Amino acid sequence: MSQSLMSIISGGNSMKFFVTGVGGQLGHDVMNELAKRGHEGVGSDLAAEYSGIADGSAVTKMPYVSMDITDAAAVETVLQEVKPDAVVHCAAWTAVDLAEDDDKVDKVRSINAGGTKNIAEVCKKLDCKMVYLSTDYVFDGQGTKPWDPDCKTYQPLNVYGQTKLEGELAVSETLDKYFIVRIAWVFGVNGKNFIKTMLNVGKTHDTLKVVSDQVGTPTYTYDLARLLVDMIETDKYGYYHVTNEGGYISWYDFTKEIFRQAVELGHTEYSEDRLTVLPVTTAEYGLSKAKRPFNSRLDKSKLVKNGFTPLPTWQDALRRYLKEIGM
């Protein structure tokens, strides 16, 4: 497709994006959203070549550069060569429990904080926009009040949250043109997530215990990708909270709805007469090395105030996702 044709398709405002973490759930969907809108996207991850799901979507054919974000010189070289208008930084260490291991902490910090700082430094030199994906884990997860995106009473409960906060600070202290977007309970086609885990364990168990005292809202990366590109097309910089709409739920509520919809799609192995889902407290469940937030409620009202379209409900997102993964 010629550049002029691309400009016509995207309303004459075609931009060049550099996206990290395209081997993961969100990076995959951001690249596909860019292609859909006629923007230029260059994907990146650690692997020598694109290593995500081979689903034939646009990301599998778009330009790709192998880059280690913890290598400042490599980040400088790659970004100076690509010269993007915007960087969407999805790459992160996301294994929350593993991050607590003493021998992993330095590595987690070098990725989530150091890698983010490396990218922000080059974005400053290039005067390009940066989107940094973060998490409600920067807060203490207590109470029931939804977290405001501009709240500064940070108190991470674990190494993952602490290093993501350090990444946020690296961005906000280095740049003016940034979007720090906190998300929660993420799921997408390209990678592991809670829905896939539940569908797998539901096949092999007749009783499941799921925590009912951690409350939040899921985020479908397909829907999130659309909103992120909407944001970058503006200069409404700052902190945002994004999840799907549809109300706050517990992991137990989410599990019940996953199985209910799976049954609706003809998968009777998840029906209530074969599979019992029991609500338990975090304390009763035990097992996790890293502390988890009880309150992951995010206040998303700033999105509407700034003219952005909120995401569809999580129930609707779940329905589309189950079909997308072939249920």
Percent of the chain whose pLDDT exceeds 70: 96
First and final C-alpha spacing in the chain: 35
Q: The whole model's pTM is what?
A: 0.94
pLDDT in tens, 55-98: 999 999 999 999 999 999 999 999 999 999 999 999 999 988 88
Instruction: Tell whether 251 is covered by a domain.
Output: no
Supply angle C-alpha 114, 118, 119, rounded to 5: 120
Alpha helices for the chain (secondary structure H): 3-9, 25-36, 72-82, 105-109, 116-126, 159-174, 194-204, 221-232, 251-264, 282-285, 301-305, 314-324
Query: DSSP characters for 43-60?
Result: EEESSSS--S----SGGG
| Local structure of residue 135 (DSSP, 8 states) | E
Domain containing 12: what range? 3-193+217-245+296-313
Assess contact for 86 and 123: CB atoms under 8 A: no
pLDDT in tens, 262-292: 999 999 999 999 999 999 999 999 877 899 9
Instruction: Tell whether 126 is covered by a domain.
Output: yes
Assess contact for 297 and 146: CB atoms under 8 A: yes
pLDDT (mean) for 104-115: 97
Confidence (pLDDT) at 9: 43
Q: Which two tokens stand for residue 132?
A: 């940094």
Higher per-residue pLDDT: 40 or 98: 40
pLDDT in tens, 236-268: 999 999 999 999 999 999 999 999 999 999 999
Q: What is the count of structural domains for the chain?
A: 1
Query: DSSP characters for 242-283?
Result: ---BS--EEHHHHHHHHHHHHHHTT-GGGSTTT-EEEEE-HH
Residue 67 amino acid letter: M
pLDDT (mean) for 30-50: 97
Instruction: Tell whether 305 is covered by a domain.
Output: yes
Q: Which of 50, 64, 137, 160 is catalytic?
A: 160
pLDDT band at 211 (very low <50, low <70, confident <90, very high): very high
pLDDT (mean) for 114-141: 98
Instruction: Tell whether 85 is covered by a domain.
Output: yes
CA dist 139 and 164 (Å) reads 11
Q: What residues contact residue 305 under an 8 Å CB cut-off, 6+ apart?
A: none
252 classed as catalytic: no
Query: Which residues are registered as beta bridge partners of 41?
Result: 17
Instruction: Tell whether 263 is covered by a domain.
Output: no
Instruction: Tell whether 153 is covered by a domain.
Output: yes
Confidence (pLDDT) at 12: 54
Instruction: Tell whether 166 is covered by a domain.
Output: yes
Instruction: Tell whether 67 is covered by a domain.
Output: yes
CA dihedral over 112, 113, 117, 118, signed as positive or negative: negative
Residue 130 belongs to domain with CATH number:
3.40.50.720
